[in-house]
Amino acid sequence: MEISFIIPSRNNLKYLEWAYNSIRKNQGNHKVQICVADDASEDGTWDWCKKKMADDKQFNAIQNKGPERLGLVILNDKLVNEVAKYDACIVYHADMYLCPGALDSIEHYLKEKTIVSLTRIEPSLHPPGPEKVLLDSGIEPEEFDEEQLLVQLDRLKTKDKTTEGIFAPWAFWKKDFQEIGGHDPIFAPQSKEDSDIFNRFHLNGVEFVQTWEGFVYHMTSRGSRFNTFSGGAPGKNSEEWLYTTTKNERNFIRKWGTSIQHDSLMKPIVSPKYKIGFKIKNCNEDILRFLEPWCDHTFVDCNFTNYLLKEKSHTTYNLTSRVLDYNESCHDNIIVEINALQFTRQDYETVSKLSDILHDSGDIGEFELGNLKITINSLETYENKLICIY
């Protein structure tokens, strides 16, 4: 198999070098190109990349000189589209150790219109889940217990077992990535970009295979969430990550009409996307901030200038076309009338599940749920129009 590893990295040199060594050690008889993007690092990453390019003909790197980072959304796509020379690629993190036999398993399952995820073995820095294996073989490269991991590996492998989750590291065909336009830049620099592209792959007919014969050991979240250069630490979220995950959760809801959804084994669940307008009486800025992402247009009877000024730096959505005066005409297919003085936690739960409620209702007309009055003019859905980035 010929495959290009896609690895953006920022101030992550000790992990990146550890990951590189594991790939070269355990790549077997496969032809492996390692593609690295140095994202304005200050820890010597670019000097290391230049040395590797001189020593390793199958190592290629690009540099964002900064000072601002570009992030995974931009650099993953640049590496895939401009650097990767093979048709098969794998989105990989710098804090991952490639286990022996992993590429054999990818080759076995990477058929047409398929994405293959390797199973992650992790220390318990995150909650357990049925899609991964918890095993503490170290949380830093200098304390990595490779011998312990390899002893456990044969026990962990399950021949012919697959599930349908998708997460990093995920191997894919470049043509499937390019067909949908890659990552959506609205999620730059990072956070929720993976859930968005997984939704779009799913809608575009790509099948997901998680192999339980191929593994990585993952030290977890060293690129941003736990990155010490950004103020994080193992198990401690950086302020940078808290900001990006919060803003992009709102952008994800604006785009898809729901929060991120997947089954217990990490297969995406995509609800129908409707054109929805909220008409909110007795509104204020707090209620507006709370509800605006959940619909396509918000009609309010309060001054919303301050909200637009504060929120516009956190999204590339055109908020002036999304937030409108209450007296303007609403032409959305679904109209939800809300009295902010009566809005409750249960009403919010209804809003957050509205796509599925509308899908189950199946009827044109009016009805009430809690304190919400809902008018359905059309049940046309638009989720398939979100597949491609133009």
Interval 123-172: pLDDT, tens: 987 888 999 999 999 989 999 999 999 999 989 999 999 999 999 999 99
Are residues 210 and 150 part of one domain? Answer: yes
Are residues 193 and 123 part of one domain? Answer: yes
In a domain, 267, yes or no: no
Q: Is 305 exposed, middle or buried (0-12, 13-18, 19+ CB in 10 A)?
A: exposed
DSSP alpha helix (H) spans, the chain: 13-26, 45-55, 72-78, 102-109, 146-156, 174-179, 193-203, 239-256, 285-291, 305-311, 319-322, 345-352, 354-361
Confidence of residue 362 (pLDDT cuts 50, 70, 90): confident
Q: Supply the pLDDT for residue 125.
A: 78
Are residues 355 and 311 part of one domain? Answer: yes
Are residues 243 and 297 part of one domain? Answer: no
Are residues 305 and 220 part of one domain? Answer: no
Q: Supply the pLDDT for residue 43.
A: 93
Specify the CATH number for the domain of residue 128: 3.90.550.10
Are residues 210 and 293 part of one domain? Answer: no
In a domain, 147, yes or no: yes
Domain that holds residue 242: 2-256
In a domain, 269, yes or no: no
- Residue at which a domain ends, from 256, 289, 313: 256
Interval 246-292: pLDDT, tens: 999 999 999 999 999 999 999 999 999 999 999 999 999 999 999 99
Average pLDDT, integer, range 310-317: 96
pLDDT above 70 covers what percent of the chain?
100
**Would you state the structure tokens that stand for residue 39, as one six-digit string?**
């994202």
Beta-carbon contacts of 152 under 8 Å, excluding residues fewer than 6 positions away, are 121, 135
In a domain, 356, yes or no: yes
In a domain, 305, yes or no: yes
Three-state SS for 44-80 is: CHHHHHHHHHHHCCCEEEEEECCCCCCCHHHHHHHHH
Q: Supply the pLDDT for residue 390.
A: 78
* Residue entry with tokens 């492996």: 32
Q: Supply the pLDDT for residue 237.
A: 79
* pLDDT at position 376 over 90: yes
Are residues 161 and 307 part of one domain? Answer: no
Q: Supply the pLDDT for residue 53.
A: 98
Q: Supply the pLDDT for residue 76.
A: 98
Confidence of residue 216 (pLDDT cuts 50, 70, 90): very high
Are residues 289 and 217 part of one domain? Answer: no
Are residues 241 and 286 part of one domain? Answer: no
In a domain, 298, yes or no: yes
The answer to which of 68-72, 124-128, 133-137, 378-382 has the lowest mean pLDDT is 124-128
Question: Per the structure, how many domains does the chain have?
Answer: 2
